[in-house]
Amino acid sequence: MTACGHTIGGVHGQFFPEVTGNSSGSNFAHFDTTAAIFDNKVATEYLDGTTKNPLVTAPAGNNSDFAIFSSDGNSTIKAMSEPPTFLSTCGSILQRMIDTVPSTVKLSDPITPMKVKPTLLQLQLLSSGQLQLDGNIRVRSEDSGLGPQPTVKLMYADRTGKINSTRIDTTPYTQQGGTGSGFEAVFWFYQIPSVILPNGISHFNVSVTNTTTGHETIYDNNGNGYPVQDNIIFQSPQSCLVFPNGGGDPNLTLTAAVRDGMNLTNTSFNVVVKTPRANAVVPELVVKTAPMKLLRSTSFGYSLYSASYTLPVNSQSTTADVWVDGPGGVKYEDAFKGTDAVGGDHKCQEF
């Protein structure tokens, strides 16, 4: 099993300098000379003495691969030096790992990526009183071939559900031609260009048009539209993460715009705090809640609420949600906001 896992990859010297003998951030010691290919080189190079596998060549106590390979007098690793034996042995081990799932478990059909996926959607209440929408749209191609890039437009509904007659043009990303490829798929990425919403928003649909045939397809999230609520809005410019002079735990301040006249109560934010735990390297993720207080009212139909929380320094890069309770037990939230993206220069801006 060790040889199968160590036919690809290597060891980062930055994290394991006692193994690689080099602690630089760029040091990455490969297990064999074909570190990106699943083959028997990890075995043959070990046997012929040319291996650079750090888990073989490291000082005693850190050379775990050497201890495992030599534990039976190199018998198993010699057998695995033959390509057919290596592949069949590793195939059998991987199959047994998969087959640990009980036979009574019924698997779903393969999950395919969504054809259209909005990402990083963000409303913002501007000092002019206008609502602004930003975000991205990802579109998956019909096949793995890189065909002509379609045009993508948004059709949004105001907060009453009425579709606006004006379609919003999106802009293809320029980085890497606005494309990305994965297993059996090609994706196009588009940017929503800071749209002003005079009557709020409840949802939007996406129009994708083939630039060769002119054929248009409307994506409406199975008839539901892609939802965007405007009852509570995370205000990034009025939020900040401030470090005390001389270092120490930073203070996180989050601000949210809450819609007036909607009987919304209990405005709060949640933040995920990384908490050390005994006998585990990975910290526990604990959600802490801070009630938000009225910061100021506006004449735009929104009031600003704010609260602060002192984060442990090891949790400075985390996520937070602003939320509010509505009538009938409904909860509205603007969620999963990265603390490393708040504010502009580590201070909260005035509204």
- pLDDT tens, position by position, 220-254: 999 999 999 999 999 999 999 998 887 789 999 99
Percent of the chain with pLDDT over 70: 97
CA angle 164, 167, 168 (to 5 degrees): 115
Q: Say if CB 24 and CB 13 are below 8 A apart.
A: yes
pLDDT digits (tens, 9 = 90+) for 278-297: 777 789 999 999 999 999 99
Long-range contacts of 82-85 (CB under 8 A, 24+ apart): 82/40, 83/39, 83/40
Our measurement of the distance from residue 327's CA atom to the centroid of its chain's CA atoms, rounded to an integer in Å, reads 32
For residue 87, the model assigns a pLDDT of 96
* Model confidence, pTM: 0.72
Number of CB atoms found within 10 A of residue 335's CB: 12
What is the radius of gyration, based on Cα positions, of the chain?
A: 27
Question: What is the chain's pLDDT, residue by residue, as a tens digit (351 residues)?
Answer: 999 999 999 999 989 999 999 998 889 999 999 988 999 999 999 999 999 999 999 988 899 999 999 999 999 999 999 999 999 999 999 999 888 888 898 989 988 889 999 999 999 999 999 999 999 999 998 766 567 889 999 999 999 999 998 999 999 988 776 788 776 778 899 999 999 999 999 999 999 999 989 999 999 999 999 999 999 999 999 999 998 887 789 999 999 999 999 999 999 999 999 998 877 778 999 999 999 999 999 999 999 999 999 999 999 999 999 999 999 999 999 999 999 878 555 689 999
Q: 41 and 17 in contact (C-beta within 8 Å)?
A: no
What gap in Å lies between CA 48 and CA 278, rounded to an integer? 43
Query: What phi, psi does 75 have (nearest 5°)?
Result: -60, -50
Q: What is the dihedral of CA 10, 15, 21, 26, to 10 degrees?
A: 70
3-state helix, strand, coil in the chain (%, to 5): 20, 40, 45
Q: Which two tokens stand for residue 99?
A: 């087959």
Q: Which domains does the chain have, with CATH numbers?
A: 2-98 (no CATH), 116-227 (2.60.40.2440), 232-341 (2.60.40)
Question: Rounded to whole angstroms, what are the CA distances from 261 to 130, 305, 327, 333?
Answer: 17, 15, 12, 17
Q: Strand, coil or helix: what is 266?
A: strand
